[in-house]
Structure 1
Amino acid sequence: MIEVVNPTTEEVIGTVRAGTVGEVDAAVGRAVAAFPAWAATPVEDRVDAVRRIADGLAARADELAATMVAEMGTTSAFATKVQVPNPIAIARAVADVVAGGYFDGERVGHSLVLREPVGVVAAITPWNFPLQQMVAKVVPALVAGDTVVLKPSELAPLTADLLAEVVTAAGVPHGVFGLVHGTGPVVGEALAAHPMVDMVSFTGSTRAGRRVAALAAETVKRVALELGGKSANVVLDDADLGRAVKIGVANAFMNNGQACSAWTRLLVPADRHDEAVELAAAAAAKHVPGDPALPTTRLGPAVSAAQRDRVVGYIRQGVAEGARLAHGGPDAPTDRGFHVAPTVFGGVTADMTIAREEIFGPVLSVLPYSDEDDAVRIANATVYGLGGAVFSADEERALAVAKRMRTGQVDINGAAFNTSAPFGGYRQSGNGREFGRFGLDEFTEVKSIQR
């Protein structure tokens, strides 16, 4: 059995069965058997099933939010405003795309080009946005006519159980959706390597993504990877510095700093570096670690003791390499729970470890730049390319800089997240896209018929 630990209280709050290779094989077998009938199900019926899933999630919103607060430490406010509403919006948007004629086909000369289901999909999902990442894979796969075997993170498995109940209640036939709990080295690798799985959609670390891709390559599976990030928030010299820093700190610390697309590098003009560090430290001081179940708490714990220790190790590394600690530090801010102090470093250079590697905790690095070209150079000086931001008084200038950034998403002046726009990264942040029409493309094959 796998014990589920509340990262705030450090108490065991549940258990799930650790799946075996044999159970993976059985789940894949059921998915293979169920595929022909599900793929042949009228598109309208699949759309209706997905809409029932979205409605089911909405009906259990409070329970889903409370479960995520308890098992992975996201704050109550973030759970109710983001962790639950986003997946519902993602599901409804995908249903709308399909209902709008996605599978009708298009003419290309004398060819009819069609979209068809890819087959059996293995969905391997993370703990930081458990419901969102499960829905972003399971829902487009189901509406496309694929069958799915889901392996959620063993750190946040209880949310997956609730999703499974919602999918069953929505009338999805037996075998079309399967859930196997377990660890990555056992269940995850068995799914990635399984000869009857046609596609693997994985979200997690870049290291684990490389392993998934290598295993899947043995049977030439389709692979979609959403991996790590080290996103830059570029504040141009004409921007409202106070506003940009305030929004930037909130983004860097969202979900307790455990977000792959968080803007963890704040790039500011060199002559305003010290002012920016001071503003960032003041903003970070308002993110007081506490009980995430309380509605006023802005910063909860790391998901586990191991994750806390990893983040603290990076903070110590930053100090050792000469970055200036402006707020926070490695010391535990609470007596109980896997909390990390919200931390701001100034005087960071692009070659420092804290500026190059994904930390996945509430740690912000402030880097000075000399001019706009230097800012773009620093922003792109990473193996990642998932998210980013630009702040400027001139939106066209900001857009020009955004176009030069080698990353999958860029937000200008704090623009809101869009659950219908494509989400995914460049380089070692992965390949493929999620959400809306672009996400749906990943779960379909393209066929051309000439006549």
Structure 2
Amino acid sequence: MSHTAQFFIDGQWVEPLSEVRFDVVDPATETTIGQIALGNAQDVDQAVTAARRAFPAWSATDVRERVELLKRVLKVYERRYDEFAELIRREMGAPITFARSGQAARGPAHLNALIDVLERFDFEEQRGSTRVVLEPIGVCGLITPWNWPINQIVVKIAPALAAGCTMVLKPSEYSPLSALLFAEVLDEAQVPAGVFNLVNGDGLGVGTAIASHPGIDMVSFTGSTRAGVLVAQAAAPTVKRVAQELGGKSANVLLDDVNLDEAVTRGLAACFTNSGQSCSIPTRMLVPRHLMNDAAQIAKRAAEAYRMGPTDDPATQLGPLVNRNQFNRVQTLIQKGIDEGARLVTGGTGLPAGIGHGYYVRPTVFADVKPHMTIAREEIFGPVLSIIAYDSEEEAIHIANDTDYGLAAYVQSGNLERARKVGRALRAGGVHLNYPAADFGAPFGGYKRSGNGREWGEAGLREYLETKSMVGYGPA
């Protein structure tokens, strides 16, 4: 790409107003692989002006026109699929096999799901003599994280386009290259000028400017709970809509009728997805007390079988964390688990054996974790599993719900009805029964400090719509 130090505003690649630059580092090699510009409030203002200018025409387009645009985006994306996988591998350290099958694959998955929704969605409904009309909310500020860069970009941009909104995107400065490539895809797919705009930057310089800008009608933010609070505070004076997908500390309740070997092995694999850098993964494994030692040994065997190494090796299963700060934070939390008395089954602090550089973390399993311990309460964002014992089904539900978060929860049982019953008792936005396949039409979002609003499928589209009641409209 030739645009790494530029922004995409009003249908053109433009020079930033700021001269501040930021190095993009490959976390597997600790080498600089590119440099981006960090924007400021003036860059954001230019992008918002372009988006507001484009809104009247784009919001008035026919639904069929929006469907055809999304299909063009999908076609261009699929042609450049391998480029997305390679950039995600390099900018955030995803092993190439996972970058292809997990990370890059989310773009077409969500585009296809949204196209299907848009083709059958009713934007108007007659209720008695009132016509209820769903209209695009306006100009949207989209702030995305580094851990699932394309996934989070597509689940915001696609429904915003489908709704008839215009937008300004700020991707994470740690994984900006795939976002710049997606801007090229949108440009080639002939998204009208000003409908999509991209300004790179950090949270303080660009994120705050987006959240507080009076010309932005809605902010959709994905990131940490701490940063989400700051976004909401910055947005409050302009009373704009704020949709947030924040942190998680998801429980995985293994009931006493499971195939323990399968349930633990698959649970650990889910916890280690994306090197543990996912907000909805099951990081707390709850097991019947009498099965604790067996579960710990199964998890130990599974964790120690993970292959770590260069991210361009198709055999590598577990990559590094995204940057040094994240590596240091996870090291501190692992040590905290040891200091607070959790039983270290495998892993621990330091680099994995045979690896001398990169932000790799040893696959780590703790057993006999108490619900009050730091590693049972704080989001770690690394390949660290905490196994917690319970004595009754009621206690398992209590432990699972005893958290500030409520993004996801998991239940494993040999009896689906039993799993359903426990799942209904869990306070989480997404409950996964017996390790199901991903459903890209299912609403995604959380309770409590995991955020508000929903993404994915129809629920994601509705976030970008405003409701108008035309009272006295008359019968259809």
TM-score, length-scaled by structure 2: 0.94
Residues 1:361 and 2:364 aligned together: no
Secondary structure, aligned partner of 2:298 = helix
Are the equivalent residues in 1 in contact too, given 2:91–2:177 (CA < 8 A)? yes
Residues 1:50 and 2:54 aligned together: no
Question: Equivalent residue for 1:261?
Answer: 280
The CA distance in 1 between the partners of 2:329 and 2:469, in whole Å, is 49
Please list, as runs of the form range in 1=range in 2, the aligned pairs for 1:69-108 lying within 5 A after superposition.
Answer: 69-103=89-123, 105-108=124-127
Question: Equivalent residue for 1:328?
Answer: 347
The CA distance in 2 between the partners of 1:431 and 1:293, in whole Å, is 37
Question: Equivalent residue for 1:118?
Answer: 137
Query: 2:41 is aligned with what amino acid?
Result: V
The CA distance in 2 between the partners of 1:87 and 1:435, in whole Å, is 12
Are the equivalent residues in 2 in contact too, given 1:289–1:340 (CA < 8 A)? no
Question: Equivalent residue for 2:437?
Answer: 416
The CA distance in 1 between the partners of 2:77 and 2:409, in whole Å, is 30
User: How many residue pairs are counted as aligned between the two chains?
Assistant: 450
Instruction: After TM superposition, give the deviation of residue 221 of structure 1 in Å.
Output: 0.5
Deviates more, 1:73-82 or 1:348-357: 73-82
The CA distance in 2 between the partners of 1:158 and 1:40, in whole Å, is 32
Instruction: After TM superposition, give the deviation of residue 410 of structure 1 in Å.
Output: 1.3
Question: Equivalent residue for 1:340?
Answer: 361
Residues 1:176 and 2:195 aligned together: yes
The CA distance in 2 between the partners of 1:87 and 1:405, in whole Å, is 30
> What is the aligned-residue identity percentage?
50
Deviations 1:131-162 (A, max 9, x none): 00000001100111100100000000000010
Instruction: After TM superposition, give the deviation of residue 230 of structure 1 in Å.
Output: 0.2
Residues 1:23 and 2:43 aligned together: yes
The CA distance in 1 between the partners of 2:154 and 2:118, in whole Å, is 16
Residues 1:430 and 2:445 aligned together: no
Secondary structure, aligned partner of 1:122 = strand
- Pick from 351, 354, 359 the counterpart of residue 372 of structure 2: 351
The CA distance in 2 between the partners of 1:308 and 1:397, in whole Å, is 39
Question: Equivalent residue for 1:143?
Answer: 162
Deviations 1:343-363 (A, max 9, x none): 000110100000000000000
Question: Equivalent residue for 2:7?
Answer: none
Residues 1:200 and 2:239 aligned together: no
Question: Equivalent residue for 1:243?
Answer: 262
The CA distance in 2 between the partners of 1:214 and 1:425, in whole Å, is 19
The CA distance in 2 between the partners of 1:280 and 1:151, in whole Å, is 38
Query: 1:66 is aligned with what amino acid?
Result: E
Secondary structure, aligned partner of 2:299 = helix
Secondary structure, aligned partner of 1:153 = coil
Instruction: After TM superposition, give the deviation of residue 55 of structure 1 in Å.
Output: 1.6
Are the equivalent residues in 1 in contact too, given 2:299–2:365 (CA < 8 A)? yes
The CA distance in 2 between the partners of 1:247 and 1:37, in whole Å, is 49
Question: Equivalent residue for 2:15?
Answer: none
The CA distance in 2 between the partners of 1:199 and 1:448, in whole Å, is 20
Query: 2:367 is aligned with what amino acid?
Result: G
Q: Give 5+ residue unaligned stretches, structure 1.
A: none
The CA distance in 2 between the partners of 1:77 and 1:391, in whole Å, is 28
Deviations 1:214-260 (A, max 9, x none): 11111000010000000011000001111110110000000011000
Question: Equivalent residue for 1:376?
Answer: 397
Question: Equivalent residue for 2:418?
Answer: 397
The CA distance in 2 between the partners of 1:86 and 1:26, in whole Å, is 30
Question: Equivalent residue for 2:319?
Answer: 300
Question: Equivalent residue for 1:311?
Answer: 330
Instruction: After TM superposition, give the deviation of residue 51 of structure 1 in Å.
Output: 1.4
Question: Equivalent residue for 1:385?
Answer: 406
Query: 2:282 is aligned with what amino acid?
Result: W
Root mean square deviation, CA, Å: 0.8
Query: 2:465 is aligned with what amino acid?
Result: T
Secondary structure, aligned partner of 2:175 = coil
Instruction: After TM superposition, give the deviation of residue 56 of structure 1 in Å.
Output: 1.4
Instruction: After TM superposition, give the deviation of residue 284 of structure 1 in Å.
Output: 0.5
Secondary structure, aligned partner of 1:218 = helix
Instruction: After TM superposition, give the deviation of residue 109 of structure 1 in Å.
Output: 1.6
Instruction: After TM superposition, give the deviation of residue 79 of structure 1 in Å.
Output: 1.5
The CA distance in 2 between the partners of 1:76 and 1:4, in whole Å, is 18
Are the equivalent residues in 1 in contact too, given 2:70–2:158 (CA < 8 A)? yes
Question: Equivalent residue for 2:18?
Answer: none
Q: Which runs of 4+ in 1 moved over 4 A?
A: none
Deviations 1:13-67 (A, max 9, x none): 0111111110001000110111001101111111111111112111111110010
Instruction: After TM superposition, give the deviation of residue 428 of structure 1 in Å.
Output: 0.3
Are the equivalent residues in 1 in contact too, given 2:446–2:452 (CA < 8 A)? yes
Secondary structure, aligned partner of 2:197 = strand
Instruction: After TM superposition, give the deviation of residue 288 of structure 1 in Å.
Output: 2.9
Question: Equivalent residue for 2:27?
Answer: 7
Query: 2:116 is aligned with what amino acid?
Result: D
Question: Equivalent residue for 1:65?
Answer: 85
- Pick from 189, 201, 207 the counterpart of residue 208 of structure 2: 189
Are the equivalent residues in 2 in contact too, given 1:290–1:299 (CA < 8 A)? yes
Are the equivalent residues in 1 in contact too, given 2:307–2:315 (CA < 8 A)? no
Deviations 1:167-210 (A, max 9, x none): 01111111110000010111000000000100000000000000
Deviates more, 1:92-101 or 1:258-267: 92-101
Deviates more, 1:14-23 or 1:192-201: 14-23
The CA distance in 2 between the partners of 1:288 and 1:185, in whole Å, is 38
Query: 1:449 is aligned with what amino acid?
Result: M
Deviates more, 1:92-101 or 1:43-52: 92-101
Q: Give 5+ residue unaligned stretches, structure 2.
A: 1-20
Deviates more, 1:133-142 or 1:107-116: 107-116
Query: 1:316 is aligned with what amino acid?
Result: Q
